[in-house]
Amino acid sequence: MAGRPRVPIDKASPRTVRRNKGLTNPESLVVTKPVTPPAWLNTKAGRECFHDMQVPLIQAGILQTLDIPNLSLMAQFWSDYIEARDIIRADKANIAEYVKACGRDDLFAFMMESLRQYQALLAKFAGSPIDRTKIVTRAPKKKSGVEDIFDGGAK
């Protein structure tokens, strides 16, 4: 027999168990009640975005404590976008008039970069219909006939 020897079945099984771990959320990490935004997120728009985004994620059962920093950062980018937009609107000018009058587009570039960063983080939370199509959920394991006998037939 040429080539690599076959791995015995008893040694191969732990590797497949490790590789095919279930994707269920550990109960200790799942956020079940709304949390307060971090202290550094001190703008009104940022706090509103943080609250408005966490509620549906909590209701869906997919928000974990590890997601809170990304959610906070996303709210900060939204706040930066709103602040820059409001500065431009304060002059009662649209963006093209603002850039022409000021001669620079630094604020506009900052506004668009904040929006781009917000949308990138929003994609991580499946914030658009296209992103939601990428979500993969695992079906619960099908019980064998023997398990049904021992658990009393409860389903």
Summarised one tens digit per residue, pLDDT across range 59-113 is 888 888 888 999 999 999 999 999 888 887 777 666 667 667 766 677 778 888 9
- Reduce the DSSP state of residue 147 to 3 states and report it: helix
Higher per-residue pLDDT: 68 or 27: 68
Amino acid symbol at 146: V
Q: In Å, what is the CA distance from 56 to each residue of 89, 90, 144?
A: 31, 33, 35
pLDDT category, 50, cuts 50, 70, 90? very high
Can you give the pLDDT at residue 73?
Answer: 93
- Reduce the DSSP state of residue 64 to 3 states and report it: strand
29 backbone dihedrals φ, ψ, rounded to 5°: -95, -20
Predicted confidence (pLDDT) at residue 37 exceeds the cutoff of 70: yes
Give residue for tokens 């706090």: 47
Per domain, the residue ranges of the chain are 40-131
Of the candidates 39, 46, 71, the one whose C-alpha atom is nearest the C-alpha of residue 57 is 71
CA–chain centroid gap for 65, Å, is 11
Scored b (16 or more CB within 10 A) or e, 43-58 reads bebbbebbeebbeebb
Can you give the pLDDT at residue 67?
Answer: 87
Contact 108, 95 (CB under 8 A): yes
